[in-house]
Amino acid sequence: MELDGKVAVVTGGTRGLGAGIARAFVRAGAEVVVCARRPPEVPLPGTQFVPLDVRDAEAVRRLCGELPRLDVLVNNAGGSPHRPLTHAGADRHARVVELNLVAPLTVSLAAYEHLRRARGSIVMIGSVSGGRPSPGTAAYGAAKAGLENLARSMAVEWAPDIRVNTLVVGMVRTELSHLHYGDQDGVAAVARTVPLGRLAEPSDVGRAAVFLASDAAAYISGASLLVHGGGERPAFLDAANAGHTPVADKESRHERTL
What is the CATH number for 123?
Answer: 3.40.50.720
> For 210, phi and psi rounded to 5 degrees?
-60, -45
As a whole-number percent, the residues of the chain with pLDDT over 90 amount to 77
Q: What is the rounded distance in angstroms from the CA atom of residue 195 to the CA atom of residue 227?
A: 12
Q: Has residue 186 been placed in a domain? A: yes
Question: 31-35, 189-193, 218-222, 245-249: which range is least confident on average?
Answer: 245-249
Is pLDDT above 50 for 177?
Answer: yes
CA atoms within 13 A on the CB side of 156: 5
What percentage of the chain's residues is helix, strand, coil (to nearest 5)?
50, 15, 35
pLDDT at 192: 87
What is the pLDDT at residue 252?
43
Which residue range forms the structural domain that includes residue 104?
A: 7-257
Q: Where are the alpha helices (DSSP H) in 28-125?
A: 57-66, 90-97, 103-118
pLDDT for the residue numbered 174? 76
Report whether the peptide linkage leading into residue 40 is cis, meaning its omega lies within 30 degrees of zero.
no
Q: Is residue 75 part of a domain?
A: yes
The total number of structural domains that make up the chain: 1
Distance CA 8, CA 124 (A): 13
For the ranges 21-25, 224-228, 252-256, the lowest mean pLDDT is seen at: 252-256
pLDDT at 30 over 90: yes
pLDDT at residue 180 tops 80 = no
Establish if 2 belongs to a structural domain.
Answer: no
Do the domain assignments include residue 1?
no
Question: Is the pTM above the cut of 0.85?
Answer: yes
